[in-house]
Structure 1
Amino acid sequence: MAQAATQTPAQPPIQLTAAGFVSGALAACTAVTITNPMEVAKTRLQLDGELQGRAHIKLAPAVAGSGAAAAGIPEVHASVKAGPSGRVYTSALDCMQKTWRFEGLRGIQRGLGAAYAYQVALNGSRLGFFEPFRHAINSVAGYEQNSVHAWTSLLAGASSGVVGAILGNPLFLVKARMQAYSPFNPVGAQHHYTSAFNGLASIVRKEGVKGLARGVDAAMLRTAMGSSVQLPAYNLAKTTLNGWGMGDNVGVYLLSSTFSGMCVCAVMQPADTALTRMYNQSPNSVGPDGKPRGLLYKNPIDCLWKTWRTEGFAGLYKGTIAPHTVVTLVTNEMISRQWTAWKRARTAVARD
């Protein structure tokens, strides 16, 4: 029974670090081309109404009525385009519609170049190193390399995610700031970069080299949480569906990746919101009201606490989306299998 529980499906894909890296990067770039408009909307929604809505916070007597920040939470002014609710956008659809209307294709695909570079670094590493890490951990634990165990998969996913987060941090930093920028409907701190390279150079010039590492702690937290769930949940769902006799096809990939995307959103979204806000702040930033803002958060935990205190539980789940995970995993599976088939065919020809 124990052997049956850990047995993997027949003919698993050939996993090589270089091949896995390329497959993961191509899958992620395909996904980001399709989902970047949703990423732009997600980023802006996570910053829309930032630290607004403190009416439910009971001020201490010493600061009540004085205009001082309550409970260590800084005063944050709403966007000049905010409505009575203090927000510019009412939903993801409303955000995409306004972005398209006022900024066109350039606005809806803002930060796409930086997103490509980031996905190569992050998802290429995350998807490319997951299997080698899992095989290594299984070997150290005394398991068969290809066997599936929950704890080794979780550890491999978290480890590969942290590697990708470190490599891709400067690019994600630029991407987030480019996607947040809007000359028509600003939300959050505004940084105007003409390209990913211009963004990197501007950060180094204004904040020093250490500015490129801004938010890396939040990135490691977010990516470790997401990666610890993404691939293990996908593998669990796919293995279960295969065990039910559903075969190995695109339908199974879609169901498995949808399940994985739901798990990722549930676990990672609060950390993703904190990451966006940590990235978007800087010592010399200007708020959406056109006035200097500066730093709002000390670290990702401080950001999560202030967000919850001012915006409630719903504030932690602003901009929740799952399509990127679905498209990435399905594309990665198909590319991996095509690569495997090509390698096996090439080996067979060489033997003949």
Structure 2
Amino acid sequence: MSSSSSKVLTPGPSATAPSAAVVPQRTPLAPLSLLESFACGGLAGCAAVTVSNVPEVMKTRLQLQGELQRADSNAPKVYKNVLDVFQKTWRHEGIKGLQRGLLPAYGYQILLNGSRLGFYEPIRRSLTATVGRNPDEVLASTAIVAGAMTGCIGAALGSPLFMVKARIQAYSPALPVGAQHYYKGSFDALRTILKSDGILGLWRGVNAAILRTAMGSSVQLPSYNLGKKYLISWGWKENGYSTYLVASGVSGFCVCAAMQPADTVLTRMYNQNTVKDPITGRVRGALYTNPIDCLWKTFKAEGIAGWYKGTTAHLLRIWPHTVITLVANEFVMTKYRAAKMRWAGDA
């Protein structure tokens, strides 16, 4: 009887255990320099203002209507509401009237949003690290301060262009409201102001610009980022454009609520005529000396409603402007970073 020995079979080279599924790692996008971030933010702002300049013209004219007149005054009103401004401007001035001030608005957006969007993240991270926290951590306090700081930088840089924009938008050959300034174009406006008021005249009202922009910027990106954070925690896609749209919409409402009174002050201070002080010989505003003076005189003559003139037009302007700016900024940065990675790979 032959005995057979048992053999232990071992898997050959072809009988391997099933491998675990490989999870693809997301390639990190290339970081942007300050200059690149500035350019992306400026481009996003230009895209937005192409749409938002029309309601900006309407807002400017409503804010100047009945300036320093009592609310119960019987003075006739040129415009009844935001729709009336649109209809009358279109009828008398056409698309040129509705898009008055677009060229200086482009320049202003490059300086404002280039600074506000381009410098925000580096400054926020630096402030967070300064208080001893991880720079990647988003703190409400440092986010608000960073937003206000970058807004102030942009407002100071772009102040002359905002003044030119406001004056060109306020001008109407058919239905004037407020002080009227006729310029052949943006460069003629800068040259005229420089000649009559000096170099400081180009920055007259910059304190109001800083106040307005600081109030808006302090809530714009913090509310946008907070909105995105909550949406993502509720299951929305981190890099989905629906997430960007909803978060930026919330941000637009927050910005409008925060800066409406300061926005009215800014429009009035920039548009006022100037006079030479008989004692000092210095050129000063004919109606207001500073933002607080403008707030007080407006309140005394028109009540608190005077601060909120043009709010509907402001919301019609700031909501699409904020949405387009923030979504376009995300789009431009993402596409540019991806292209930058490809260029680095080809090098």
TM-score (norm 1): 0.83
Alignment of 1:148-227 (within 5 A): 148-227=138-217
Unaligned runs of at least 5 residues, structure 1: 1-9, 56-77, 79-83, 286-293
Q: CA deviation at 1:333?
A: 1.4
Unaligned runs of 5+ in 2: 1-26, 277-284
| Aligned 8 A contact 2:30 2:340 in 1 | no
- Larger gyration radius, structure 1 or structure 2: 2
Counterpart residue number, 2:34: 17
| Residue 266 (structure 1) aligned with residue 257 (structure 2) | yes
Q: Which residue of 1 aligns with 2:341?
A: 344
Conserved in 2, the CA contact under 8 Å of 1:225 and 1:267? yes
- Cα deviation per residue 1:105-132 (whole Å; 9 max; x = unaligned)? 2111111111111111111111111111
Distance 1:85 1:19, change over 3 A: same
Shift of 1:313: 2.3
Provide the rounded CA distance (Å) in 1 between the counterparts of 2:309 and 2:297: 14
The 5-angstrom pairing of residues 1-352 of structure 1 reads: 14-53=31-70, 55=72, 86-247=76-237, 248-284=239-275, 295-319=286-310, 320-321=314-315, 322=318, 323-349=320-346
State the identity %: 54
Question: Does the 8 Å contact 1:180/1:188 carry over to 2?
Answer: yes
Shift of 1:20: 1.1
Contact 1:166 1:216 in 2 (8 A): yes
Aligned residues: 307
Q: Which residue of 2 aligns with 1:68?
A: none
Q: Map Cα deviations across residues 322-341 of structure 1 (whole Å, 9 max, x no partner).
A: 22122211111111121222
**What root-mean-square deviation, in Å, do the aligned CA atoms of Structure 1 and Structure 2 show?**
2.0
Is this contact kept in 2: 1:13–1:337, CA < 8 A? no
Structure-2 separation of matches of 1:144 and 1:103:
55
Contact 1:226/1:268, CA 8 A, preserved across alignment: yes
Cα deviations across residues 256-293 of structure 1 (Å, max 9, x unaligned)?
111101110111111010000000012259xxxxxxxx
**Distance in 1 (alpha carbons) for counterparts of 2:28 and 2:245:** 20
Report deviation, 1:85: 5.6
| SS at structure 1 position matched to 2:303 | helix
Per the alignment, do residues 304 and 12 of structure 1 end up closer, same or farther by CA in structure 2, a change over 3 Å counting?
farther
Secondary structure class of the residue paired with 1:50:
coil
C-alpha distance in structure 2 between counterparts of 1:342 and 1:165, whole Å: 31
Is the CA contact 1:52–1:86 (under 8 Å) kept in the aligned structure 2? no
Counterpart Cα distance in 1 of 2:231 and 2:111: 31
Question: What TM-score do you get using the length of structure 2 for normalisation?
Answer: 0.84
1:11 Cα deviation (Å)? 5.7
CA contact (8 A) 2:29 2:341 kept: no
